[in-house]
Amino acid sequence: MASSVSSQHNLDLVLVEADSFARRLTLNRHKQLNAQTIHTISRLLEFFLAYEEDPTVKLVILKGKGRAFSVGGDVAVLVRDIRADDWRVGANFFSKVYTLNYLIATYSKLQVSILDGLVMGGGAGISVHGRFRVATENLVFAMPETALGLFPDVGASYFLSRLPGFFGEYLGLTGSRLDGAEMLACGLATHFVPSAKLPMLEAALCDVDSSDPVIISSIIDQYCEQPSLKEQSVYNRLDVIDRCFSKKTVEEILSALEREVVHQMDDWISATIHTLKKASPTSLKISHRSIREGRLQGVGACLVREYRMVCHVLLGEFSKDFYEWEPSKLELIADSTVDRYFSKVNDEEWEDLKLPSRSNFNLPPYAIAKL
């Protein structure tokens, strides 16, 4: 009986609605803000793989139940499992997550992610890589990993590094939150639709027998509005962000921000400095380098590198930041220490992330461009 109850619970983690040409997937852990467990990821992988082989499916719509799309991986469950077993439990989880991210990034069919609420960490990994990302006025986006002793992963070193200027470095290092208008402005979202219009949008999308991105985009356009950036929007600070976050090291970024404060008393700059100084020093250094390397790599190479990094974090070989801030200062972290996060793990049972071949599918140009 207990086994059947558990099995049904896992099935209910992702709700499925099948329409003529579309499949609607709804993340269904709303009490946990749709935080992802290995069972959630496994279900999504199962569905995405099946739909890619099914010629009747033209479109996949992904959304979250409740006030969150997804706040990412369930860190509490992950830490509990690692402590109860070993780091390989975490490695297995991230291997599945990154495989799903890669599948979505290179998907041969269209995905529309409806971002009507909180989107954080791994929530970005299952949405931002997809073809269409629909923001609403309820959207709150962030990559808060450096405050948790982690780093922006799920392919974030790919999509953050391709934002205008050095806005990606800013988001990845500070964990700053964005609203729907800012997501649209920087390119993380492709459309902005008021939440009241979402039921009509979904109905329209489910009626279309097409996998043509131009047609799907034109349908979404019928429900779009052009939101205005708030006066205090961080996206209006791109000049300062580019001056400071273009620097070669985290220490130089902080120095540049501190020089800005001398020239202009600005609460936003002071708050940014405070945020960076509160974050994990190790996380800041490896995140900065990861995003910089991502500028020159395809999404697959980014995910393989991030898998190496997360395994080192799980092992706690060089820092205990996943559990506590150590080392406690930027200057205590040598470049050689940072280098080791990007190296292969010295364990006989460990191997690099092996991503699925995509050569058997007729990938669209926007997916091929990511390889």
**Secondary structure in 3-state letters for the chain:** CHHHHHHHHHHCCEEEEECCCEEEEEECCHHHCCCECHHHHHHHHHHHHHHHHCCCCCEEEEEECCCEEECCECHHHHHHHHHHCCHHHHHHHHHHHHHHHHHHHCCCCEEEEEECCEEECHHHHCCCCCCEEEECCCCEEECCHHHCCCCCCCCHHHHCCCCCCCHHHHHHHHCCCEEHHHHHHHCCCCEECCHHHHHHHHHHHHCCCCCCHHHHHHHHHCCCCCCCCCCCCHHHHHHHHHHHHCCCCHHHHHHHHHHHHHHCCCHHHHHHHHHHHHCCHHHHHHHHHHHHHHCCCCHHHHHHHHHHHHHHHHHCCCCCCCCCCCCCCHHHCCHHHHHHHCCCCCCCCCCCCCCCCCCCCCCCHHHHCCC
Q: How far apart are CA 353 and CA 335, in angstroms?
A: 24
Distance CA 117, CA 133 (A): 13
Is residue 122 annotated as part of the catalytic site, yes or no? yes
CB 49 within 8 A of CB 96: no
Q: Determine which one of 72, 121, 122, 172 is catalytic.
A: 122
Which residue in 74, 153, 202, 306 is the catalytic one? Answer: 153
- Annotated active-site residue 73? The verdict is yes
* Active-site residue identified among 74, 145, 179, 321: 145
* Cβ burial, residue 165 (10 Å; 0-12/13-18/19+): middle
**Cβ–Cβ under 8 Å, residues 284 and 250:** yes
- The residues annotated as belonging to the active site are 73, 122, 145, 153
